[in-house]
Structure 1
Amino acid sequence: MDTEPGEKFTYGHNTALVADFNRFIDFDNEKLTNFSDYIETNYGYKMTIPQEYINQRITVRINKKEDLKTIVQLISEMYNLNFEINDELKEVTFQ
C-alpha cells in the first residue's frame, strides 16, 4: 500500500494510518442545518429543527463514534430545546 508522507507512522514493527486517529469532526460556526446533514449522513436519522433555529450557528467537536443520543442531548442543552428520538421513523425532532 503506497502512502504519502504524513499518512502513516511506524512504531516498533507496527504501522498505523493517521486517518485511523482522526476520530473527531469539528463544526466551526457552521449552520445548524449542516450539522443536521452530518447526522443524517452518518447516523441515518433525519433531524427536524424549529424554523427559528434554521440559521443558528454551531461550534462543537464531535467524536465520530459518539452515540446519537449523546449528541442529541448536547444539542438540546446548547439551544435549550426538548427532543424526541423516533427509532422507527429514524427521526430526531427538536422543539
Structure 2
Amino acid sequence: MPTFTTLRIDADDANPRVARLLLNRPDKLNAINDETPREMRAAVEWANAEPSIHVIIVEGAGKGFCGGYDLSLFGEGRIDHPCQQEQFPWDPMVDYA
C-alpha cells in the first residue's frame, strides 16, 4: 500500500472490491497543492494494479470535501519563473481567484 503526504488510499475493510481515496489536508480544507495530482495518479495506478479493486470512492478528511486549488502557493509569491506562461499555461490567480 503506497504512502502519500496529501492523501491516503486503502482497500475498504467491509468490501475489498472498493478502495477509499481520502484527500487528507483537513487544515487546508483538502485544497489541492502541487503534490496532490501526482499522488492521486499514483494512487489510481496502485488501485488499477490491484485485481480485487473495482471501485474508488473519493472522500475528504475533516469538514469539507475539497476547497479547490491551494492558491496560497501563488499568493505568497513562492513561484518565480521568468517565463511564467511557458511553465504554467494558465494563471490560477486569474483563472480561479
TM-score higher than 0.5:
no
Provide the TM-score with structure 2 as the length reference. Answer: 0.25
Bigger Cα Rg: 1
Whose strand fraction is larger, Structure 1's or Structure 2's? Answer: 1
